A and B are shown apart, each in its own frame.
Chain A
């Protein structure tokens, strides 16, 4: 049974990797777009390799592309990666990557992306359209 969540400002969100599979979209291709120049030169042409990502909240393991760890450790941590000029949904995506997908509430996201109101963050990611798999995290209460 799917766990139903009515999102509020206190609901934890995360990137749902299953969404990428269901939508038949490539997380690797998307991550490549966020590589910094140095990492792009080093990793862009390397063959794909999966790692066992461990969900920091549930302990569940997901097989995801190694580029996740590259973007998390380097590219998403750079000052210029997430700014008020970064497209909003991309900024939230990169915030989760930088955070290794630890679930965050709209209020907590607002602390990191202070130029976007928490209510806007909530409305954007609890609407009909799903952006980059960002959804309420299962069982993640505040």
Chain B
């Protein structure tokens, strides 16, 4: 059964009445009923009735097909003018929904203005005409009265109302002192007595359809401007001219640090900005103007606007360093044993998909990570679940922060590139401190906003035997090298270099990066096994060594280790290589 008739009458009689109400002559209704299958009749009946009784604003389809009209843009402009300050898309959307509901309610009112709105608390005279919202705004005429009797309600009146052919004669309560939902009191709208969904709820239900349609209409309008999710009218912006922007540029350059719009406005206070414009509007106007001027870049974190000068930024800030660019790899974590999964979680690689991996326990004030070759060459640090809490998240492209060397107090600008999960700006520091691949680096929280402490573990410099990457016959090879070391490092990850320039020449081009990993991994594994007295290599060492010439997160490497018989597990993360078992 597809549905039932709420009055309890059989479907057939209901169909006739509905068909008549919809303008179908009875004969036609009968004819159609005899021709159509019952379920089809019921579906048509339902559609007719829904159109008759349901307000359009109460349907999902209405909001899914929303198209904002020029008149409504004008209405929203009035809304912003009344507010006098920038508003969110949510504010505007709710105003739009309210306006549409009010327009619909007005239309309904106009249609049913022939009688008073029925409310149980009111008294009515014989012959008075009433409108009943819960009966689809049916009009009824009071034709009789009698005293009501109910042990809880006290004295009240029962009126008999002739509601025409559709509803017949019915009785309703009047002069009822008992609370009732149909009583329209202060702050209660007709929509409530009709049982409709209020505008705020409608917006909450359909905002996924409403917000994009409204944003599109606002962007197409020449009257609105948008900055970081807030909308305002061009006509209400404070007049910011080139002179103001020149002063802003000079202020940022002089202070050598990003400035908030409020700080820039302080520099402009002696100029001719109208004093009657609220500070929030002045800041918004300045933001809009600076956003449109190519000299300025926005370098603040989420929820904070900070302006800086593009010409003071590192020239390579706009593109991902080539040492950090990796091709797409396909791998199956299901092939990895528990030890490799554990190592995957230990290695701080921003390209590792950490979903499902064991996360490190958050350390509130300090974390330590191991410097890898790609980040050392790029002068960057990875943003991983472990390091992310130390860095602000960029609202747009990047955030400017300050690194402070915990030992020397040296301050260095850093750039958090959230989208690509790295922090730029440590190249000179790595070089100055002679940090090798595998060095321990610690990040420290500070009390200063947008400032991160950084340190390494210095030791008295001495020459140590470490595995080193060398270039032999134009390809990467490994030897034990005696090199000066002045810091603590991870034994498994350290890789020295005897000729950094030659090694840099081996770095894989984007095309070479896409070549299969396995042949290269075999070669690296064989070289590393040869220089180890135990004839083994640790999985972390393989990861560190592979990344000397091509960018590769640990998971694809571990996948290959687990997938080919030539890689023989020796336990505790160590592997050996057996050329006789090559596929």
Whether A140 pairs with B195 at a CB distance below 8 angstroms is: yes
Whether A127 pairs with B1 at a CB distance below 8 angstroms is: yes
Digitize A108-142: 1 where CB-to-B-CB distance is under 8 Å, 0 elsewhere.
00000000000000000011101001011111111
The residue of chain B having its C-beta at the shortest distance from the C-beta of A130 within the complex is B8
Q: Cβ of A61 < 8 Å from any Cβ of B?
A: yes
Whether B6 pairs with A3 at a CB distance below 8 angstroms is: yes
Residues of B within 8 A of A51 (CB): 149-151
- A6-B2 in contact given A56-B180, A59-B118 (Cβ < 8 Å): yes
Whether A61 pairs with B21 at a CB distance below 8 angstroms is: no
Q: Whole-angstrom distance between the alpha carbons of A1 and B29 in the complex?
A: 14
Whether B46 pairs with A52 at a CB distance below 8 angstroms is: no
Q: Cβ of A18 < 8 Å from any Cβ of B?
A: yes
Q: Cβ of B148 < 8 Å from any Cβ of A?
A: yes
Digitize A25-61: 1 where CB-to-B-CB distance is under 8 Å, 0 elsewhere.
0000000000000000000000000111110111111
Residues of A within 8 A of B170 (CB): 60
Q: Whole-angstrom distance between the alpha carbons of A4 and B20 in the complex?
A: 14
Residues of B within 8 A of A133 (CB): 8
Whether B3 pairs with A58 at a CB distance below 8 angstroms is: no
- A141-B45 in contact given A3-B7, A61-B172, A126-B1 (Cβ < 8 Å): no
Whether B3 pairs with A7 at a CB distance below 8 angstroms is: yes
Residue from A53, A60, A62, A126 in contact with B4 in the complex, judged by beta carbons closer than 8 Å? A126
Digitize B545-564: 1 where CB-to-A-CB distance is under 8 Å, 0 elsewhere.
00000000000000000000
Q: Is the interface of A mostly helix, strand, loop or mixed?
A: loop
Whether A54 pairs with B178 at a CB distance below 8 angstroms is: yes
Residues of B within 8 A of A139 (CB): 6, 53, 134-136, 195
Q: Cβ of A88 < 8 Å from any Cβ of B?
A: no
Give the number of residues in A that approach B within 8 Å (Cβ atoms). 38
Q: Cβ of B290 < 8 Å from any Cβ of A?
A: no
Q: Is the interface of B mostly helix, strand, loop or mixed?
A: loop
Whether B151 pairs with A69 at a CB distance below 8 angstroms is: yes
Q: Cβ of A16 < 8 Å from any Cβ of B?
A: yes
Whether B195 pairs with A141 at a CB distance below 8 angstroms is: yes
Digitize B331-365: 1 where CB-to-A-CB distance is under 8 Å, 0 elsewhere.
00000000000000000000000000000000000
Shortest C-beta distance, A92 to chain B (Å), equals 16
Residue from A22, A54, A69 in contact with B8 in the complex, judged by beta carbons closer than 8 Å? A22
- A19-B149 in contact given A4-B49, A52-B173, A139-B134 (Cβ < 8 Å): no
Whether A58 pairs with B14 at a CB distance below 8 angstroms is: no
Whether B18 pairs with A1 at a CB distance below 8 angstroms is: yes
Residue from A5, A61, A135, A136 in contact with B173 in the complex, judged by beta carbons closer than 8 Å? A61
The residue of chain B having its C-beta at the shortest distance from the C-beta of A126 within the complex is B4
Interface centre among B148, B178, B195, B196 (most CB of A within 10 A): B195
Residues of B within 8 A of A140 (CB): 134, 195
Residues of B within 8 A of A18 (CB): 7-8
Q: Whole-angstrom distance between the alpha carbons of A52 and B158 in the complex?
A: 8
Q: Whole-angstrom distance between the alpha carbons of A56 and B181 in the complex?
A: 7
Digitize B205-220: 1 where CB-to-A-CB distance is under 8 Å, 0 elsewhere.
0000000000000000
Q: Cβ of B535 < 8 Å from any Cβ of A?
A: no
Residues of B within 8 A of A136 (CB): 4, 6
Residue from A5, A56, A66 in contact with B3 in the complex, judged by beta carbons closer than 8 Å? A5
Digitize B58-71: 1 where CB-to-A-CB distance is under 8 Å, 0 elsewhere.
10000000000000
Whether B173 pairs with A54 at a CB distance below 8 angstroms is: yes
Residues of B within 8 A of A138 (CB): 6-7, 134-135
Of residues 266 through 320 on chain B, the ones whose CB sits less than 8 Å from some CB of chain A are none
Digitize B145-163: 1 where CB-to-A-CB distance is under 8 Å, 0 elsewhere.
0001111110010100000
Whether B148 pairs with A52 at a CB distance below 8 angstroms is: yes
Residues of B within 8 A of A54 (CB): 120, 148, 150, 153, 156, 173, 176, 178, 180
Q: Whole-angstrom distance between the alpha carbons of A7 and B5 in the complex?
A: 10
- A4-B120 in contact given A52-B149, A57-B134 (Cβ < 8 Å): no
Whether A2 pairs with B171 at a CB distance below 8 angstroms is: no
Shortest C-beta distance, B278 to chain A (Å), equals 42
Shortest C-beta distance, B452 to chain A (Å), equals 50
Whether B4 pairs with A7 at a CB distance below 8 angstroms is: yes
The residue of chain B having its C-beta at the shortest distance from the C-beta of A125 within the complex is B4
Q: Whole-angstrom distance between the alpha carbons of A42 and B45 in the complex?
A: 49
Whether B171 pairs with A61 at a CB distance below 8 angstroms is: yes
Residue from B118, B119, B134, B150 in contact with A52 in the complex, judged by beta carbons closer than 8 Å? B150
Q: Whole-angstrom distance between the alpha carbons of A56 and B134 in the complex?
A: 11
Whether B182 pairs with A2 at a CB distance below 8 angstroms is: no
Interface centre among B3, B7, B150 (most CB of A within 10 A): B7
Residues of A within 8 A of B53 (CB): 3, 139
- A135-B46 in contact given A1-B14, A58-B135, A61-B148 (Cβ < 8 Å): no
Q: Whole-angstrom distance between the alpha carbons of A127 and B178 in the complex?
A: 35
Q: Cβ of B17 < 8 Å from any Cβ of A?
A: yes
Shortest C-beta distance, A18 to chain B (Å), equals 6
- A60-B6 in contact given A4-B45, A51-B150, A141-B196 (Cβ < 8 Å): no
Shortest C-beta distance, B276 to chain A (Å), equals 49
Q: Whole-angstrom distance between the alpha carbons of A54 and B82 in the complex?
A: 44
Residues of B within 8 A of A7 (CB): 3-4
Interface centre among B3, B9, B21, B119 (most CB of A within 10 A): B3
Residues of A within 8 A of B49 (CB): 1, 3-4
Q: Cβ of B114 < 8 Å from any Cβ of A?
A: no
Residues of A within 8 A of B196 (CB): 141
Q: Whole-angstrom distance between the alpha carbons of A71 and B46 in the complex?
A: 37
Digitize B113-145: 1 where CB-to-A-CB distance is under 8 Å, 0 elsewhere.
000001110000000000010111000000000
- 8 nearest CB pairs, A to B: A1-B17, A2-B7, A2-B14, A6-B3, A61-B171, A2-B5, A58-B134, A4-B49
If A4-B14, A52-B156, A60-B170 are given as contacts, then 16 extra A-B residue pairs at C-beta distance below 8 Å, sorted by A number, are A2-B17, A4-B18, A5-B3, A16-B7, A51-B150, A52-B153, A52-B158, A56-B180, A59-B173, A59-B176, A60-B172, A61-B172, A69-B150, A69-B151, A136-B4, A140-B195
